[in-house]
Amino acid sequence: MTATAFSLPDLAGELRRFPTERPALICFVKEDCATCNLAAPVLEAFHHAWGEAADIWMVGQTADGNAILRDRHGLTLPILDDSALRASLAWDFEIVPAAYWIGPDGERRPPIEGFVRQEWEALADRIAADLELAAARVAWSELPDWCPGCGSKHLDPDIHDRLLAEAEGSPIRARRIDVAPSDDVDEFMYDQGFSDGLPLVAPTPERVLRMLSGTARDPQGIVAIVPPSMAPVTVEKVAINAVMAGCKPEYLPVVIAGVEAVCTDEFNIHGVNATTMGATPVLVVNGPIRQRIGMNMKQAALGNGNRANATIGRAVRLVVRNVGGARPGGTDRSTMSSPMKFTMCFAEWEEGSPWEPLHVERGFQREDSVVTAFAMTSGPVQIVDQESREPDQIAGTLGLGLEGVFLSKIHRMPVDALLVVCPEHVKTLTVDGDYPKARLRDRIQAVTSRPLREMVGNEVSGAGIPPASAAKMTEAMLASPAPKFADGKFIHIVVAGSEAGKFSAAFHGWLTGAAGSAVVSRKIEC
């Protein structure tokens, strides 16, 4: 193996370049390592014996420590400064001292790490033989048989990630923004408009690199074109926003799939943001990844307290904000907006459901991990029923709870609703046996059916059917029942929540179809 080239200054400030045209012994050390201090006089003896014929260099990992080593042991051999640790990273060892003999043939052999006296004696014999010179004067018998080395400084987790991010060949390609030393990083990110109003985690190169370890996808691969600016977003840029949102690397595949889902033409994220109704994505996660990354699907599933739920939804929104340019007062034109604009993501409790999970219902395999995006305008709105004991009673309550979507007077709307049924309500629905989703949807439509006459604008509320239009209708038309939803297929049903408490929840949707937003699911690929 050919040794990696480097250029490092010595303690006199002279730049030493490797390789030279001579054989070399390169030994990486750090001052606070006892074994490195044990090896230092041995290296000095090697320098006295062979320094005229070979380069005997000590490469120190701490700038101040290099001078301390020199003074402590009276060293005269060249001590090079690798306090930036780039050479240490490139040479890829684990323990210091790490001694490499690059002989006359130029080949870099595996290093001697730590101190095993027998190995160091063999190294000395090898160098003397290669150089055809006398042995170095080392009192081997006075040295211990074995001393463990210390972990190399470049492998410190925080340092190592930074070095990888800065190294040649790093996947980090995004434009770097330098923050002045006098600036507060958190305030700087606010000032630049990166934040949704909450604090952000600074996306340092090492954090982004660590985030990218959560996926096998090419960091420069295009994930989606993000409206409204129609800007391409790479895996790397999704990772940057995931860092800012507070995600762990294992969440990144879910964030990527969420971005893919909301940036489709069908979902229409531009319309979702631009409508004054205040629509926003709600993400539901299905499949094995729920447990793998620790998502919440039980108690408080729709609320705070779970890192994965909170940060995945936030990361998707930050991508749309920071890459797509959708910001309040700009293309985000919501009249009132909603806390869901910060985040809304949860997992379905498939194991507590008597029905097919949402992703299976939508055509995926049960073992697939899938994220489904809904465009919702409000929620979660609680539906309370602690008295009903019959399946159709609970189903009726859930229907009445959904009648408030948009406004109770507005029926036959082409609008999606996401119904989250709690486990206790599920138990009541299935107390007599199976209660299919189709039956629940039909029951909802039935209990919400009202004569069209009740939909006409009047002195109580001008909303609904304009009186002028109603005047043209026959009595039979006005008496005809109109269910809440234009079609039962717009009612999407999942199970989540605590096993205690008879409180289900509903999310009210935006217009569906070409005029609004369609529900979109994407398989999560790690």
Per-residue pLDDT of 443-477, as tens digits, reads 999 999 999 999 999 999 999 999 999 999 999 99
Domain count, the chain: 2
Residue 168 is predicted with a pLDDT of 64
Residue 107 is predicted with a pLDDT of 80
Claim to verify: residue 45 and residue 192 sit in the same structural domain: no
Q: How far apart are CA 310 and CA 201, in angstroms?
A: 14
State phi, psi for 271 to the nearest 5 degrees.
-65, -40
Answer whether residue 167 shows pLDDT above 80: no
Claim to verify: residue 148 and residue 194 sit in the same structural domain: no
Per-residue pLDDT of 21-79, as tens digits, reads 899 999 999 999 999 999 999 999 999 999 999 999 999 999 999 999 999 999 999 99
Task: Report yes or no on 42 lying in a domain.
Answer: yes
Which CATH number is 20's domain given?
3.40.30.10
Task: Report yes or no on 429 lying in a domain.
Answer: yes
Chain CA centroid to CA 453, Å: 51
Helix H or strand E encompassing 520: strand 520-523
Residue 166 is predicted with a pLDDT of 73
Asked if residues 123 and 112 have their Cβ atoms less than 8 Å apart, the reply is yes
User: Nearest CA to 383 among 394, 370, 392?
Assistant: 394
Task: Report yes or no on 161 lying in a domain.
Answer: no
Residue 70 is predicted with a pLDDT of 96
> 41 vs 124, 138, 362, CA distance in Å?
13, 9, 71
pTM for the model stands at 0.78
Claim to verify: residue 43 and residue 91 sit in the same structural domain: yes
Amino acid at 8: L
Residue 170 is predicted with a pLDDT of 72
Spatial neighbors of 491 by CB under 8 A, at least 6 apart, are 402, 416, 417, 419, 440, 441, 444, 485
User: Chain-wide mean pLDDT for the chain?
Assistant: 95
Is beta strand 222-226 parallel, antiparallel or unpaired with respect to 231-234? antiparallel
Claim to verify: residue 356 and residue 409 sit in the same structural domain: yes
Per-residue pLDDT of 129-165, as tens digits, reads 999 999 999 999 999 999 999 999 999 987 887 788 7
Claim to verify: residue 402 and residue 508 sit in the same structural domain: yes
Claim to verify: residue 133 and residue 214 sit in the same structural domain: no
User: Nearest CA to 85 among 156, 191, 14?
Assistant: 156
Q: How far apart are CA 252 and CA 255, in angstroms?
A: 5
- Residue 46's domain comprises 6-155
Asked if residues 409 and 463 have their Cβ atoms less than 8 Å apart, the reply is yes
Claim to verify: residue 384 and residue 517 sit in the same structural domain: yes
Spatial neighbors of 525 by CB under 8 A, at least 6 apart, are 217, 253, 256, 257
Claim to verify: residue 79 and residue 194 sit in the same structural domain: no
Answer whether residue 490 shows pLDDT above 90: yes
Claim to verify: residue 393 and residue 256 sit in the same structural domain: yes
List the structure tokens of 103.
């002989």
Claim to verify: residue 142 and residue 204 sit in the same structural domain: no
Helix H or strand E encompassing 273: helix 269-274
Per-residue pLDDT of 85-121, as tens digits, reads 999 999 999 999 999 999 887 788 889 999 999 999 9
Looking up tokens 């919702």, which residue turns up?
376
Q: What is the gyration radius of the CA atoms in the chain, in angstroms?
A: 33
Residue 366 is predicted with a pLDDT of 97
Residue 172 is predicted with a pLDDT of 74
Residue 100 is predicted with a pLDDT of 97
Residues in the chain: 526
What pairs with residue 370 in β-bridges? 286, 523
Q: How far apart are CA 452 and CA 444, in angstroms?
A: 17
Share of the chain above pLDDT 90, in %: 90
List the structure tokens of 430.
């299935």
Mean pLDDT in residue range 220-231: 95
Claim to verify: residue 434 and residue 395 sit in the same structural domain: yes
Answer whether residue 219 shows pLDDT above 70: yes
User: Nearest CA to 238 among 263, 209, 259?
Assistant: 259
Of 158-172, 184-198, 288-302, the one with minimum mean pLDDT is 158-172
Claim to verify: residue 210 and residue 131 sit in the same structural domain: no
- Give CA angle at 499 (494, 503), nearest 5°: 65
Residue 67 is predicted with a pLDDT of 96
- pLDDT band of residue 1 (cuts 50, 70, 90) is low
Task: Report yes or no on 135 lying in a domain.
Answer: yes
Residue 515 is predicted with a pLDDT of 86
Task: Report yes or no on 128 lying in a domain.
Answer: yes
Task: Report yes or no on 1 lying in a domain.
Answer: no
Is beta strand 150-151 parallel, antiparallel or unpaired with respect to 95-96? antiparallel
Answer whether residue 2 shows pLDDT above 80: no
Q: How far apart are CA 481 and CA 485, in angstroms?
A: 12
Helix H or strand E encompassing 523: strand 520-523
What pairs with residue 451 in β-bridges? 481
Task: Report yes or no on 169 lying in a domain.
Answer: no
Q: How would DSSP label each residue in 206-232?
A: HHHHHHHTT--S-TTSEEEEETTTTEE
Per-residue pLDDT of 328-338, as tens digits, reads 999 999 999 99
Asked if residues 283 and 520 have their Cβ atoms less than 8 Å apart, the reply is no
Task: Report yes or no on 165 lying in a domain.
Answer: no
Q: Within 10 A of 465 (CB to CB), how many other CB atoms are there?
A: 19
Mean pLDDT in residue range 409-435: 96
Residue 291 CB-density burial (10 A; 0-12 exposed, 13-18 middle, 19+ buried): exposed
Q: Assess whether the previous peptide bond of 78 is cis (omega < 30° from 0).
A: no
Asked if residues 385 and 394 have their Cβ atoms less than 8 Å apart, the reply is yes
Asked if residues 296 and 346 have their Cβ atoms less than 8 Å apart, the reply is yes
